[in-house]
Chains A and B, each alone.
Chain A
Amino acid sequence: MSHGSTDRCEPNLTPLLDLVLQLVMFFMLCANFVMEQTSVEIKLPEAIAAKALDKSTDEVLFLNVNAKGQVLLSANQREDDNTDTLDNPVQVENYLKRRAAVETRVTGKDKPQATIVLRIDKETPFEYSYPIMKACRQANYSNVQLRAIRYSGVE
């Protein structure tokens, strides 16, 4: 009799495994990787008119300014002394002047062409953020932008 067969009936799990691995890959790639020059400690303000960074911009220098007015340097922004924080505007100005000197030596231009993106914490009072802007000017940088979270205006 045929109903006495002992053949095992197993579901084919291979396509399911493929699908799950693809989903895992997706989430791994979308994981919130921290950008090299930006700091997660900085809580940015929101702005409707903020635009994405122009792709044609060659060199961008991110300056992360915390609520105390200190500039936090990322690993690749640090200099030989390995200082990770610039505590006052004089230090910021000297740091920017050194970077500008290196850049002008390389490019052969009389002014640094890099764009400075100021990532200023939303809790920073203007008396702390203004000296940083002033330091950019003293170091001869002319293209300075303020970073914000792009906000659609709809809650």
Chain B
Amino acid sequence: MARRQRMKTEEVEPDLPIIPMLDMSFQLLAFFIITFHPAPTEGQIAMQLPPAEQGGPSTNIPSITDEKPKKYIVEVTATEGGAIARMTFREDGSAEEGSEDLGADVKTYLTKIKSLYETELKRIEAGKASGREVPPPKLTLKIGDRLLQAYVMQLFDAGVQAGFSDIAPIPTDPRKQ
């Protein structure tokens, strides 16, 4: 008798309320959509550290036959607000009076160093053809104290775009170097 009663017990179908869970999920989704802000992609630009202070023996003794790399110097002065006031260009070893004025536009500076690098590239290739190793040119940025990092980065960026791989920043004031 008892066995028959047990057999008669109705199967209970569990009722899982999905709607409140769906509501909560939608709220979470709305929160993440509203607060979603993809992080900007960051990247690096390699730089050469400023040269070591005078004194102490040099470990790199250049050979007489070694070809020296060409060095170009761009001197940048800053305005009171930290923007570029004026840029001048010269080759290392040449007189400062013979500097070429590039104005304050980074595009002019980019065009100038791009054409220079192309000339240098031809020299490197000609050297390779004749069996000589010509080192790549160097770019030194002499930067005014007030110039903001945003502009320093523009100068570096243009240098890398032109093809230079060796770019070193130094202050215009030699006492601070």
A interface vs B, CB < 8 Å?
13-14, 16-17, 20-21, 23-24, 27-28, 30-32, 44-53, 117, 120-127, 129-130, 133-134, 136-137, 141-150
Q: Is the CB of A31 within 8 A of B176?
A: no
Q: Is the CB of B32 within 8 A of A148?
A: no
Residue of A nearest to B152 (CB): A126
Known: A47-B156, A48-B161. 17 other contacts (CB 8 A): A16-B22, A20-B29, A21-B25, A23-B29, A31-B32, A45-B149, A46-B150, A47-B154, A49-B160, A125-B148, A127-B171, A129-B149, A136-B49, A146-B44, A146-B156, A147-B44, A148-B45
User: What does DSSP make chain B's interface, helix, strand, loop or mixed?
Assistant: mixed
* Chain B 130-158 residues near chain A, CB threshold 8 A: 143-150, 152-154, 156-157
Residue of B nearest to A120 (CB): B149
Shortest C-beta distance, B114 to chain A (Å), equals 12
**A93 CA / B59 CA spacing, docked (Å):** 23
B18 contacts chain A at the CB level, 8 A cutoff: yes
Shortest C-beta distance, A59 to chain B (Å), equals 15
**A16 CA / B169 CA spacing, docked (Å):** 58
Q: Is the CB of A47 within 8 A of B29?
A: no
Q: Is the CB of B147 within 8 A of A24?
A: no
B56 contacts chain A at the CB level, 8 A cutoff: no
Shortest C-beta distance, B74 to chain A (Å), equals 14
Q: Is the CB of B171 within 8 A of A126?
A: yes
**A34 CA / B40 CA spacing, docked (Å):** 12
Give the residue of B45, B148, B152 whose beta carbon is less than 8 angstroms from that of A50.
B45
**A52 CA / B42 CA spacing, docked (Å):** 7
B interface vs A, CB < 8 Å?
18-19, 21-22, 25-26, 28-29, 32-33, 35-47, 49-50, 52, 78, 82, 143-150, 152-154, 156-157, 160-161, 169-171, 176
Contacts of A122 in B (CB 8 A): 148-150, 153
Q: Is the CB of A126 within 8 A of B146?
A: yes
Residue of B nearest to A26 (CB): B32
Residue of A nearest to B37 (CB): A32
Contacts of B35 in A (CB 8 A): 31
Contacts of B160 in A (CB 8 A): 47, 49
Give the residue of A24, A28, A32 whose beta carbon is less than 8 angstroms from that of B39.
A32
Q: Is the CB of B32 within 8 A of A130?
A: no
Q: Is the CB of A127 within 8 A of B47?
A: no
Q: Is the CB of B148 within 8 A of A123?
A: yes
**A146 CA / B160 CA spacing, docked (Å):** 12
Q: Is the CB of B45 within 8 A of A49?
A: yes
Shortest C-beta distance, B31 to chain A (Å), equals 8
**A14 CA / B17 CA spacing, docked (Å):** 10
Contacts of A134 in B (CB 8 A): 49-50
**A129 CA / B49 CA spacing, docked (Å):** 12
Most buried by A among B42, B44, B47, B52: B44
**A32 CA / B80 CA spacing, docked (Å):** 36
Give the residue of A21, A23, A137, A143 whose beta carbon is less than 8 angstroms from that of B50.
A137
Q: Is the CB of B50 within 8 A of A130?
A: yes
Q: Is the CB of A146 within 8 A of B18?
A: no
**A137 CA / B50 CA spacing, docked (Å):** 7
